[in-house]
Amino acid sequence: MGTRRYASRACHQMKEQGREDDVESWCYMVLDIFDEKCIPWRELKENDETFRMKDDLMHSRDDLFTDGDLKPETEDKIFMIFFLIS
C-alpha cells in the first residue's frame, strides 16, 4: 500500500488508482509539510480508521484544520487543486 499517511482513499480500498489518486496523495503530503497538525490520522495504525478520516475530509472539510496553523485560504487552495483535477 505504501505510506498510509499519504495513500489515497482508493489505495486504502485496494482499488485501481489513477492520476486523481496521485493528486490526492500530493494534497496530503503538502498539508503535512506545511503543518503536521493538519493531518489528524498522522499517528493512526488502523487502515479503516485512516480511510474514514480521509473520506470525511473529502466530504466535509469544515473542521479539519482546527488543530493546525495553516490559514483557511491556504487549505482551500490546496484542495481546490484536487477537486479541479479529479
Report if residue 4 sits inside a domain.
Answer: no
Residue 2 lies in a domain: no
Average pLDDT value for the chain:
79
Nearest C-alpha neighbor of 42 from the set 34, 33, 51, 32: 32
**CA 58 – CA 64 distance, rounded (Å):** 10
The one-character DSSP state at 61 is: -
pLDDT digits (tens, 9 = 90+) for 49-61: 999 999 887 776 5
Query: What is the total count of domains within the chain?
Result: 1
* Position 72 pLDDT exceeds 70: no
Contact 33, 9 (CB under 8 A): no
Residue 3 lies in a domain: no
> Which domain does 37 fall in, by range?
9-85
Range 11-38 average pLDDT = 88
2: left (phi over 0), alpha (psi -120 to 50) or beta: left
Domain assignment present for 56: yes
For the chain, report the end-to-end CA distance as a whole number of angstroms: 21
pLDDT (average), residues 30-48: 85
The dihedral through the CA atoms of 82, 84, 85, 86 has a sign that is positive
Q: Over 80: is that where the pLDDT of 43 sits?
A: yes
Confidence of residue 3 (pLDDT cuts 50, 70, 90): confident
